[in-house]
Amino acid sequence: MGETEKKALFSAVQPSGAVTIGNYIGAIKNFVALQDEFNCIYAVADLHSITVRQEAAALRKNTLELMALFIACGIDPEKCVLFVQSHVPAHCELTWVLNTITYPGELSRMTQFKDKSAKHADNVNMGLMDYPVLMASDILLYQAAAVPVGADQKQHLELTRDLAVRFNNRYGQTFTVPEPYIMKGSGAKIMSLADPSRKMSKSDENPNAFITMSDDRDTIIRKCKRAVTDSGNEVRSAEDKPGVSNLIAIYGAFTGKTAEETEREFSGKGYGDFKVAVGEAVADALAPVQAEKARLLKEKDYLNGIMKRGAETAARIARRTLSKVYRKVGFYSGD
């Protein structure tokens, strides 16, 4: 199949701090798996990050680190377009136009806006409210047919689809209406190690609740040993065993083993042995990624080159869509 026959797929990750193994399993690992099937376009979403307060130096560092992590995890810059969102001005430009067909009520009722407004009550800004429109622009600029999203971004993708349809109805066919891409066999949502009823989050105030992609071996094993498990001692994936089920999911994501295989492997053994095995599996899998990331971070020119090339390619594709939009809404082009 020729390059042009593959469908476009877009996704992005915000460079706002540590990346957890939950982010890896839920997003980046899938990005790698999708790169042959689709024309993949992946961004470091720095424009989104500043909707909550960031320290400038940290944001710059996190942006470069996330780019290095993408590549270290196996995203191939020869196969995918890999870029930093703020390097492509069309994202902001399309956001402005889409703002004019978006209603305030649609944005103020977004679950994530309400959650983040409550969490950052001292900084409820228009950017936080407009966040989903910027996300819609990200996706629509590339005529993406598919967007791999976790549950927390589904509402934003729904809005993206509504805006695409609304624009197309008002101005004529312009945007591809994107579909959510649900990964085969991996509904795996990784939960907190301290409270398996909550999603694993880097902003958890308890650092034992999450494992980051840069935690060292001892830290990883210690966190797994401390993970909250359920009553009983049987390693079995079940609804009434959320702690153990979560560890089985983590173990599976890093070893490729199914829940049944893991249950068999640890039958007759207790939680203690299993937790150490999970920690070791995670540490073993992350070691080469961490080494490669460290190596890449020393090759800053190489990373800058990838970003530059990615932004050029992205800008070319985005400009095509934006020109069409500008024409449809009636902006005088001068040529």
Catalytic residue set: 116, 199, 202
Q: If you ran DSSP here, which 8-state letter would residue 80 be given?
A: S
Burial 194-229 (b: 16+ CB within 10 A, else e): bebeebbebebeeebbbbbbebeeebbbebbeebbb
Tell me: does residue 199 bind ligand TRP (CB under 6 A).
no
Read off φ and ψ for residue 11, nearest 5 degrees: -155, 170
H or E, element range at 287: helix 271-298
CB of 144 to ligand TRP, least distance (A): 8
CB of 6 to ligand TRP, least distance (A): 18
Q: Using the rule CB under 6 A, is 153 a contact of ligand TRP?
A: yes
Identity of the residue, 96 or 331, whose beta carbon is nearer to ligand TRP in the bound complex: 96
Q: How wide is the angle at C-alpha 285 spanned by C-alphas 304 and 75, nearest 5°?
A: 35
* CB contact set of 128 (below 8 Å; sequence gap of 6+): 51, 52, 113, 116, 117, 120
Q: Does 82 bind ligand TRP (CB under 6 A)?
A: no
CB of 11 to ligand TRP, least distance (A): 4
- Are 46 and 78 in contact, with CB atoms under 8 Å apart? no
Nearer to ligand TRP, 6 or 217 (CB): 6
What number of residues does the chain have?
A: 335
Q: Should residue 253 be labelled a site residue for ligand TRP when binding is judged by CB under 6 A?
A: no
User: Is the CB of 40 or the CB of 139 nearer to ligand TRP?
Assistant: 139
What residues from 32 to 71 belong to the interface with ligand TRP (CB under 6 A)?
45, 48
Q: How far apart are the first and last CA of the chain?
A: 37
Q: What does the per-residue mask of binding to ligand TRP show for 126-145, with x meaning CB under 6 A?
A: ---------x--xx------
Question: Is 132 or 252 the residue whose CB approaches ligand TRP more closely?
Answer: 132
Interacting residues with ligand TRP (CB under 6 A): 10-12, 14, 45, 48, 135, 138-139, 147, 149, 153
